Amino acid sequence: MSVIVSRTAGFCMGVRRAMEKALEERSRTPDTLFTLGPLIHNPHVLDILRRNRVLEVSEESAEAGSRVIIRAHGVAPPVRRKLAERSCIVIDATCPKVARVQKMALRAGEAGRQVVIAGDKDHAEVRGILGHALAGGVCISTVEEARSLELDSPALLVAQTTFSEESFAEIAGALRGRHLDIEVQDTICDATSERQEEARRMALEMDAIVIVGGRTSANTRRLAEIITGLGTPAFLVEDEGEIPPEVSRYETIGVTAGASTPNWLISRVAERLVEMQARGVRWLLWRCLAFLVRSNLLVALSALALTLLSVLWQRLQPGFRVLAVPPLYLFGIHLLNTFSESQAQEINEPAQKMFMQQNRAWLMPLAWMSLGIALLLASLGSLWAGVLTASAIILGLLYQVRIPFARVQLIRIPGSKDLFTAGAWAVFTCCIPALIAEGRLLPSAFMASAIVFSITMVRALAYDLKDLQGDRMVGKETIPIYLGMRWSSVLSTSLIVLAAGLATVALALGVFPPAGALALLLPAHALVYLRLFQSRRVSGAVLFSATVDGFFPILGLLALAFLP
């Protein structure tokens, strides 16, 4: 039983670029932003965009002076002229690859050649390219149309960027076979051909394929045609709620998606499929895991495990207060934060949001109780531990609110959540135990804090990368949104190297005992989960959290074996 997500599923470069331009523009002014036609062929994304002041408009109804985005499909020159006549502020998000085909059509037209496009006649991209063909253009969709096509002049054959490779090869073959004066240019985008190729491979290897995407999306429908053409059952769904129950009877299920499907929808569908496939003991295990993740109890267990490790590193006596304060504080504050993240959660993890709403009556008091007990135990353990815990609770509560007179909101500082979270993990799992047990901080406490800070920063970045597209939609300012994917990956790798280097130095200098070598497993684990995440071996919020946080309790048990 397995669910495998296609590596190439989801936003292509052109759609991602158009989305980013739209969201960037939206954040610049409070005015409504318009897109010429739907920005993306996905009803979920369009719904969120509408709620965030990004509305569809046609060239006829665009208001004078309004800000209008040309989507990735591009438009014909007359449409641009109409917008210019109305003094609209145009934000051009035409995909560079589509713009290249438009230029090819324009040059062919200037040379007096006719343009033939293999594609869908009603598709906006096709209309835009035809609009550039000065000497006239024609769209054909089937090999039969290619056989009966009449040409008045030399011609150029191009393809809609999301057209099927097979159909294009057939059409080009039919035209060449008729010895017409036609130049053939395969303009199908690499992203499309790779996606179709992977869908073909998956269709041959898996029992069934679920395709996630809007029904109006041509490239999504094309994926379904390719898969059913190979005799493999294909199910096209727009979200996890549309998965038919019969899918669960297949042993191996592949998940692919069109170019306009966001990652969060793919992830939600994959998670639902894993849940539907689980039976008997597996189902029980899945429910337990989902409960641990959604209730934040896995966070508490991870905090306890890192505290055990830090106690081992610092050669501290593992008393009750030493071990209880970190998980209580981190559990309480994470739980309160989960309650307040409603908009992003609705997109990224609707199952978690529903869990929080259904269990609010006992989870909310539990969060406050955990914080209260953490403060009490820390204060009884040491004055400084009490002061630090009280400050951390106040900071955690102030994080989301506008600070009076200062006119700042900490949550609005890019990356602040990751820095605060990693800082809290470092202070609570390393400094607070040392203050309670010894009343002071030794060099081992600083070394341990630096390692935990690096590792939990990587953890926070991994969560941000998972939620990148959803966070961007609601205007969250995380480090990956600020730095971009590439630099965030560089930052993660640097932090992993830093953690490994610090652990090695601490062991070599005798700051940590030899058993503290368990520290080296932390960066190794981070490398593994980042790799799994990049290759899409792990999808869905529950499995992701289990992979990232589930290793800490195992490490905690190992540390326990070396403690006095």
Q: Give the C-alpha distances (Å, rounded to integers) separating 9 from 13, 22, 558.
A: 12, 22, 38
Which segments of 430-540 does DSSP mark as H helices, in order? 432-438, 443-466, 468-473, 479-483, 485-508, 521-534
Question: Which amino acid does the sequence have at 262?
Answer: P
Between 102 and 267, name the residue whose CB sits nearer to ligand SF4: 102
Q: Tokens at residue 35, please?
A: 């897109």
Question: Which amino acid does the sequence have at 472?
Answer: R
* Interaction residues for ligand SF4, span 417-436 (CB under 6 A): none
Closest to 307 in 3D by CA, of 247, 374, 362: 374
The DSSP code sequence of 420-459 is: HHHHHHHIIIIIHHHHHHHSS--HHHHHHHHHHHHHHHHH
User: Is there a contact between 196 and 241 (Cβ–Cβ < 8 Å)?
Assistant: no
Closest to 537 in 3D by CA, of 10, 4, 9: 4
* Interaction residues for ligand SF4, span 95-134 (CB under 6 A): 95, 97-98
Task: Give the whole-angstrom CA distance, residue 465 versus residue 494.
Answer: 16
Q: Could you say whether residue 191 binds ligand SF4 (CB under 6 A)? A: yes
Interface region with ligand SF4, contact rule CB under 6 A, candidates 7-15, 404-412, 519-527, 534-542: 7-15
Q: From the candidates 125, 271, 275, 341, which is the catalytic residue? A: 125
Q: Could you say whether residue 15 binds ligand SF4 (CB under 6 A)? A: yes
Interface residue with ligand SF4 among 52, 66, 102, 161 (CB under 6 A) is 161
Q: Is there a catalytic annotation at residue 63?
A: no
Task: Give the whole-angstrom CA distance, residue 532 versus residue 545.
Answer: 12
- Shortest distance in whole angstroms from residue 257 CB to ligand SF4: 13
- Shortest distance in whole angstroms from residue 381 CB to ligand SF4: 57
Q: Could you say whether residue 192 binds ligand SF4 (CB under 6 A)? A: yes
Interface region with ligand SF4, contact rule CB under 6 A, candidates 38-46, 92-100, 350-358, 515-523: 92-100
Between 94 and 379, name the residue whose CB sits nearer to ligand SF4: 94
Between 12 and 311, name the residue whose CB sits nearer to ligand SF4: 12
How many other C-beta atoms can be found within 10 angstroms of the C-beta atom of residue 401?
A: 11
Between 98 and 452, name the residue whose CB sits nearer to ligand SF4: 98
Q: Which residue has the tokens 């531990």?
A: 385
User: Is there a contact between 7 and 198 (Cβ–Cβ < 8 Å)?
Assistant: yes
Q: Could you say whether residue 259 binds ligand SF4 (CB under 6 A)? A: yes
- Shortest distance in whole angstroms from residue 414 CB to ligand SF4: 28
Interface residue with ligand SF4 among 7, 13, 416, 477 (CB under 6 A) is 13
Q: Tokens at residue 28, please?
A: 């610049």
Interface residue with ligand SF4 among 12, 253, 299, 434 (CB under 6 A) is 12
Between 189 and 427, name the residue whose CB sits nearer to ligand SF4: 189
Between 72 and 224, name the residue whose CB sits nearer to ligand SF4: 72
How many other C-beta atoms can be found within 10 angstroms of the C-beta atom of residue 346?
A: 15
Q: Could you say whether residue 72 binds ligand SF4 (CB under 6 A)? A: yes
Q: Could you say whether residue 159 binds ligand SF4 (CB under 6 A)? A: no
- Shortest distance in whole angstroms from residue 97 CB to ligand SF4: 4
User: How many chain residues interact with ligand SF4 (CB under 6 A)?
Assistant: 14
User: Is there a contact between 239 and 233 (Cβ–Cβ < 8 Å)?
Assistant: no
Name the DSSP class of 74.
-
Q: Could you say whether residue 237 binds ligand SF4 (CB under 6 A)? A: no
In the bound state, the residue with its beta carbon closest to ligand SF4 is 14
Alpha carbons within 13 angstroms on the beta-carbon side of residue 497 total 6
Pairing between β-strand 208-212 and β-strand 252-257 as defined by DSSP bridges: parallel
Closest to 19 in 3D by CA, of 332, 318, 143, 41: 41
Interface region with ligand SF4, contact rule CB under 6 A, candidates 13-21, 126-134, 225-233, 527-535: 13-21
- Shortest distance in whole angstroms from residue 218 CB to ligand SF4: 10
Termini Cα distance of the chain: 43
How many other C-beta atoms can be found within 10 angstroms of the C-beta atom of residue 400?
A: 15
Interface region with ligand SF4, contact rule CB under 6 A, candidates 41-49, 186-194, 420-428, 540-548: 186-194
- Shortest distance in whole angstroms from residue 374 CB to ligand SF4: 49
Between 4 and 93, name the residue whose CB sits nearer to ligand SF4: 93
Between 12 and 481, name the residue whose CB sits nearer to ligand SF4: 12
Q: Could you say whether residue 14 binds ligand SF4 (CB under 6 A)? A: yes
Between 125 and 464, name the residue whose CB sits nearer to ligand SF4: 125
Residue 215, classed as helix, strand or coil, is: coil
Task: Give the whole-angstrom CA distance, residue 455 versus residue 318.
Answer: 22
- Shortest distance in whole angstroms from residue 38 CB to ligand SF4: 14
Residues in contact with ligand SF4 by the rule CB under 6 A: 12-15, 72, 95, 97-98, 161-162, 189, 191-192, 259
Residues identified as active-site: 125
